[in-house]
């Protein structure tokens, strides 16, 4: 049996990895938002800090995904 895979973009695997990372970051964000329902006041500041960190990581991954897309589909 022969198997063939065709990549339509140069960065197909990089994009796949970034999308996977983005999904994990979104799950982590949901967990942090859920933690706000039951954490103590002392823990809340740590959760807020973690939320800000995850938010910046989500923005970074989205920026990289857009850069990959723009390199494959430059605007005229």
Report if residue 41 sits inside a domain.
Answer: yes
Report if residue 4 sits inside a domain.
Answer: no
Report if residue 6 sits inside a domain.
Answer: no
Report if residue 1 sits inside a domain.
Answer: no
Q: What is the pLDDT of residue 3?
A: 58
Domain carrying residue 30: 12-71
Task: Give residues with Cβ within 8 angstroms of 54, minimum separation 6.
Answer: 25, 28, 29, 32
Report if residue 3 sits inside a domain.
Answer: no
pLDDT for residue 1 is more than 80:
no
Q: What is the pLDDT of residue 9?
A: 61
Domain count for the chain: 1
pTM: 0.82
- Using CA atoms, how far apart are residues 7 and 2, in angstroms rounded to an integer? 17
pLDDT tens readout for residues 9-49: 667 888 899 999 999 999 999 999 999 999 999 999 999 99
């Amino acid at each position: 049996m022969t198997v063939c895979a065709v990549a339509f973009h140069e960065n197909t695997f990089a994009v796949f990895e970034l999308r996977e990372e983005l999904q994990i970051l979104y799950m982590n964000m949901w967990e942090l938002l859920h933690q706000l329902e039951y954490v103590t006041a002392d823990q809340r500041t740590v959760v807020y800090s973690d939320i800000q960190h995850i938010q910046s990581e989500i923005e970074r991954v989205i920026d990289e995904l857009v850069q990959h897309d723009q390199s494959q589909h430059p605007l005229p």
